[in-house]
């Protein structure tokens, strides 16, 4: 029977490092690192949510301004048409056309 000592040595080394890794990951120092990392992640989350809220507020303001701008533009165009009609064809003809 031919044993491959290299593969056996790698397996035993992996088991030893794995066991040491579990001990290291479960230590008090590692727990402290996990706690600080989680706290930092929560701060990042809070900052991101604050930024998103601010962006939504600004987007709402911009949208309201754009709607108002379009309404003002439509009103100005309608006034221009009414003024042009009054100058060209007289008040009574334009009033009759508007009613029809």
Q: Give the separation between CA 40 and CA 45, rounded to whole angstroms.
A: 9
14, 6 contact by CB (below 8 A)? no
94, 85 contact by CB (below 8 A)? yes
Q: What is the pTM of this model?
A: 0.46
Q: Which residue stretches of the chain have pLDDT < 70? A: 1-2, 89-100
Residue 21, CB-side half-sphere exposure with 13 Å CA sphere: 6
């Amino acid at each position: 029977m031919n044993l491959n000592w290299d593969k056996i040595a790698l397996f035993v080394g992996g088991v030893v490092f794995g066991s040491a890794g579990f001990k290291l990951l479960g230590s008090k120092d590692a727990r402290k690192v996990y706690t600080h990392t989680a706290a930092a992640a929560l701060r990042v989350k809070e900052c991101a949510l604050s930024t998103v809220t601010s962006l939504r507020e600004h987007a709402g303001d911009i949208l309201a301004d754009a709607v108002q701008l379009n309404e003002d533009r439509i009103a100005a165009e309608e006034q221009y048409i009414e003024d042009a009609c009054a100058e060209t064809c007289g008040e009574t003809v334009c009033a009759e056309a508007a009613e029809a």
